[in-house]
Structure 1
Amino acid sequence: MPKEVTDLAEFKELINGDKVIAVDFTAVWCGPCKRIGPKFEEFSKEYPNATFIKVDVDAAEEIAAAYKIQAMPTFKFFKGGEMIGEMVGADESKLKALCESHCK
């Protein structure tokens, strides 16, 4: 199950590590987020080499602002502090493709 992160310092510590971090920027009121959220959780089990986390943009406004989140859901993939992939929207096949290319 993806961990919920609300603290900017913890978020930065996670994404600066050697492991791929897949981030779901979400909101409780967001319909598309509710549809794709369970898939993100499934992928977290399918790709154990990556760490999957969720950031609720309302509970973690500082993180959302720092990473310029404009729409939900937004998925970002990081490794060693660098963003290596990004997707906006709830397209399951595109999210799966990002996981395939970055999380194996």
Structure 2
Amino acid sequence: MFIHPIRNETDLHAALETIEALMDANPAPGTPESEQLDVLATLVEAYEAKHHPISPPDPVEAIRFRMEQSGLAVSDLAPLIGSTSRVYEVLNKKRPLSIRMIRNLHRELGIPAEALIA
């Protein structure tokens, strides 16, 4: 088992191919292959976190996504945000979310607070 640091995209793709092959083999826990899979996955995760970070979604996009996902209409958000016109102001980025709105959206719709605070 030869594992080296992931320094560039070529190394990343090679590691991902090895991970795919190991996952297809479904190694038993505690085997050298299983250990190799674990180490490679950790290296890939670290490389991607450094070189391809995923930024949090825009708060309004997070709300729109949850609305679409749950089949919600603007009127469904009024109890959480305020009036229907206030919901439109938020969705059109004319009004920022207040702490009360963030708490309500997080508690009632399960939208991560981190996404709403961004």
Higher RCO by CA contacts (8 Å cutoff, separation 6 or greater): 1
TM-score by length of 1: 0.23
Query: As a proportion of its length, which structure holds more strand?
Result: 1
TM-score by length of 2: 0.21
Work out which of the two has the higher radius of gyration on C-alpha atoms and give 1 or 2. 2
